Chains A and B, each alone.
Chain A
Amino acid sequence: MPISRRAFLGFPAALLARPAASGNVLVAVQLAGGNDGLNAVVPFDDDHYARPRPTLRLSAAQVRKIAPSTGLHSEMPGFERLFKEGRLAIVQAVGYPKMHRDHGAAMRSWQTANPAPSGEETGWLGRAADQAWNPAEGNVPAAFVGTIGQPLTLRARRTVVPSLRDPKDWTLTAEVSGPSPAWAAARRVSTVLHRGTASPYPSCSLAQSLRNVAQFIRADLGVSVYLVEHGGPPPGGYDNHANQAGHHAVLLRELSESVAAFCSDLASDGWLDRVVLMTYSEFGRTVSENGRRGTNHGAAAPVFVAGGRVKGGLHGAPPDLSKLEGDAPVALIDFRSLYATVLEKWLGLPAEPVLGQRFELLDLLA
């Protein structure tokens, strides 16, 4: 009996084997509520932008110019710096045909990578985790780092995906004996936490989550996908139907400065070359502001991709604001092309089984 038991669990041999660590890492950042892409990546000299936004429009003087007619919101100095360093790619007008305009269906679409009203129960990164999971190794392909409930993005059929509120959640609280790669990994987390983080981070929950992710990455746990979130539980902080300017500015500053701090932290000892960070939000906003100095649910919007090996710069054409659908930009790049690109070119996973069909890959990664 002992022999068959060992054969089943592969213990100690297989659980002792270090997972094929030191692979690439994807950090996905969920922006809940619908980020106003037009006031983040601003087409400041386009009349089609300025005219319908009498109070919310940002002028050339109010943005951080990154291209002849494109500027970042003034509260995003960190993103401006990353952009100039070539570590930030901005993929413009990302979405899918006839985008959902309600939070639930729209967020589900991005989380499951399936905009059709289907019975899809798993998230696209959960399906990726199932692909990367090796039962003999007991590796942990993906983890959620944050304090809200685990987003659907990570729901997997087979893999148990941890939700980590605190980096201490992956340390041992008691002394246990015996050699095990699980104990060794937990002790590496303790060591990293003991050493602390030298780089400064702003004080907000996103920065805290990203700092925790950086520590997990340094502990070399073999996790290839981390998900963090900004904006909280549904409908989410980015949903600014009224008095958008102030709220949005705070969120964009938190996003930009947290991500920039995360990149500097990882760059300081060479880890950034193994990390790609990518944002997603359920939709952009309408071009026109409403009567309450806010905007309503829109459609296509830019996606930010940062890392040591991304091809920095603007990708894809800017949204054509003279051809709107329901007062919002039309998608020019399918979000699943982006997903397929990070799956295949970054994580080395075949995209088709995850996404259900083939999508054109983007030239986004160096």
Chain B
Amino acid sequence: MQDSAALWSPLAPSSARPWTPALASHLLRRAGFGVSWGELQQAVAEGPAKTVSRLLQPPSRYEAFEERLAPLARGGPEAWLYRILETPWPLLEKMTLFWHNHFGVAASRSTAELAGSFISLLRRHALGRFDQLLAAVCRHPALYVSLGARACRKSAPETGLASALLGLYTVGPGVFGESDVRETARAFTGAYVLRDEFRWLDYEHDAGEKTILGRKGNFDIDGAVRVLLEHPSTARFIVRKVYRWLVSEMDEPAGELLEPLAAGFARDYDIARLVGTVLRSNHFFSEAAYKRRVKSPVEYAAAIAAALEISPPAAPLHQRLAGLGQNLFDPPTREGWAGGRSWLNQFTLVARANLAASMLAQARPEAVAEKHGSKDVRSFFARLLIQSETPAPILDILVSTEFQLA
């Protein structure tokens, strides 16, 4: 195995490893949701380093976009889908969806309002710092409501909440025991949700000494969160999930491979730096990552919309994507969506084909090809959608196995 530090060093294109449209498209798919011809050409021209730096920053027109969407700030899943389809800063939404999947807070286990407000919180921190994100999450009512912990009483600490915090959100499974769960739950006593707002009731807080993961102290929420953040398993656990999100769902990476990333992440929990390191890396542009994910339903629809340059109405599209298994705002469990092969079954493949056909019927593919200087629509979309030089009917490409992969 190669030295893992070298695998995470930035790709430097050379004649042996040229920067190709296939790699540019790979980067844009993982850092966003769909790829238009213009975006692909820009990334091909800029090269990987410049493209990644650009993707990490809000583009100049992002502010205007945010202003335009302000009326939708309290919107539901349809509004989020609209944002995903139209945003000039797709990486922010991609990472917001990552955290939505990570925390698994669902409208069906809380309320649509709480879930919406939670997702706004995730977006504010999506490319910020994980320590700040976690602290904010631990003061958001949606977390408590969705875990059935509206009242963390001194006499009845919420072990379900503590167990999710440890096993799903920070150190991950296998690191802690029953007593860590109980002690963490004690640290959270005093946390209440009253009228859908987070409240701290000091008289319900158990201020006694606790032992969490071998550390002793009179921990409250912030104290417990600090212990979890300082435990080396937390950075490893998050990095492993980011790997699955951005690099590959198909292989479980070795611990040594992730160690340099985890060590860097643990220093200051800077999410944007972690994401940037991954997206620039030799490993990311290797076979270990290429087409090693399945497009989620949202990615599938967004990819078609971007390539065909259409803006499908978000509300009906949201319904169809829910039918394909991705109901935004409502992951099936607190563990999020299973992803990978679970997206594809004999029903969802048919539903994807029907969705692709209906989106294609709304589009004017010949006009799109011609606008970009191509008279051969079958060649143009084969190059754009799957970077193939073999012309093919667009629908055949959209339903192919190849195009189901991200």
Chain A residues engaging chain B, CB cutoff 8 angstroms = 1, 4-6, 8-9, 11-12, 15, 19, 117, 119, 121-122, 133, 135, 138-140, 143, 155-160, 162-163, 169-174, 176-178, 180-183, 185-186, 221-222
Residues of B with C-beta under 8 A to A185: 346, 350
- Whether A121 contacts B395 in the complex (CB less than 8 A), given A1-B290, A181-B346, comes out as no
Number of A-B contacts (CB under 8 A): 111
Q: Determine how close the nearest CB of chain A comes to the CB of B331; give it in whole angstroms.
A: 10
- Whether A139 contacts B348 in the complex (CB less than 8 A), given A162-B323, A163-B323, A173-B358, comes out as no
Complex formed: what's the CA distance from A117 to B156 in Å?
14
Residues of A with C-beta under 8 A to B350: 170-172, 182-183, 185-186
Q: Which of B323, B346, B401 has the most CB of A within 10 A?
A: B346
Of residues 330 through 346 on chain B, the ones whose CB sits less than 8 Å from some CB of chain A are: 332-335, 338, 340-346
Task: Say yes or no: is B357 at the interface (Cβ < 8 Å to chain A).
Answer: yes
Q: Which of B147, B250, B396 contacts A178 (CB 8 A)?
A: B396
Complex formed: what's the CA distance from A15 to B402 in Å?
14
Contact A160 B324 (CB under 8 A): yes
If A5-B291, A119-B148, A178-B400 are given as contacts, then 9 extra A-B residue pairs at C-beta distance below 8 Å, sorted by A number, are A6-B401, A9-B404, A9-B405, A121-B332, A140-B346, A156-B332, A157-B332, A176-B395, A180-B349
Complex formed: what's the CA distance from A119 to B354 in Å?
36
Chain B residues engaging chain A, CB cutoff 8 angstroms = 109, 147-148, 160, 250, 287, 290-292, 323-325, 332-335, 338, 340-351, 353-354, 357-358, 393, 395-396, 399-402, 404-405
Complex formed: what's the CA distance from A19 to B358 in Å?
28
Q: Determine how close the nearest CB of chain A comes to the CB of B246; give it in whole angstroms.
A: 17
Q: Determine how close the nearest CB of chain B comes to the CB of A165; give it in whole angstroms.
A: 9
Q: Which of B109, B291, B340, B396 contacts A121 (CB 8 A)?
A: B109
Q: Which of B250, B287, B354, B357 has the most CB of A within 10 A?
A: B354
Q: Determine how close the nearest CB of chain B comes to the CB of A6; give it in whole angstroms.
A: 8
> Which chain A residue lies CB-closest to B357?
A174
Contact B346 A135 (CB under 8 A): no
> Which chain A residue lies CB-closest to B334?
A121
- Whether A138 contacts B349 in the complex (CB less than 8 A), given A9-B404, A119-B160, comes out as yes
Q: Which of B290, B342, B395 contacts A174 (CB 8 A)?
A: B395
Complex formed: what's the CA distance from A159 to B338 in Å?
8
Q: Determine how close the nearest CB of chain B comes to the CB of A120; give it in whole angstroms.
A: 10
Q: Which of B292, B333, B354 contacts A122 (CB 8 A)?
A: B333
Q: Determine how close the nearest CB of chain A comes to the CB of B394; give it in whole angstroms.
A: 11
> Which chain A residue lies CB-closest to B399?
A176
**Pairs across A and B, CB under 8 Å, 29 listed:** A1-B291, A4-B292, A5-B291, A5-B401, A5-B402, A11-B401, A12-B401, A15-B401, A119-B147, A119-B148, A119-B334, A121-B333, A122-B333, A133-B342, A135-B341, A138-B341, A138-B344, A139-B346, A157-B338, A158-B338, A160-B324, A160-B345, A171-B350, A173-B357, A176-B353, A176-B399, A178-B396, A178-B400, A182-B349
Complex formed: what's the CA distance from A159 to B324 in Å?
11
Contact A177 B342 (CB under 8 A): no
Residues of A with C-beta under 8 A to B404: 9
